[in-house]
Amino acid sequence: MTTYIPGMLPDGLLVDLPEVDAQHEEIFNFIDFLKTICFEHSHMPVNEFGKLLDYFAIHFATEERIAEEVGLDFTDHAKIHTDTLRLLHKALGEVINGGQDAHSFLRFCEYWFERHIREDDKLFVSALQGGDYDRSVGYRHAASPCFSAQA
What does the pLDDT average to over 57-75?
93
56 pLDDT more than 80: yes
Nearest residue to 112 via CA among 140, 144, 78, 137:
144
- The domains located in the chain, with CATH, are 17-130 (1.20.120.50)
Give the per-residue pLDDT at 116: 95
Q: Give the CA distances from residue 81 to residues 37, 44, 61, in Å, rounded to whole numbers and listed in that order.
A: 27, 25, 9
- Side chain identity, residue 132: D
pTM, full prediction? 0.80
Q: What is the mean pLDDT of the chain?
A: 83
Percentage of the chain with pLDDT > 90?
61
Give the per-residue pLDDT at 2: 40
15 pLDDT more than 90: yes
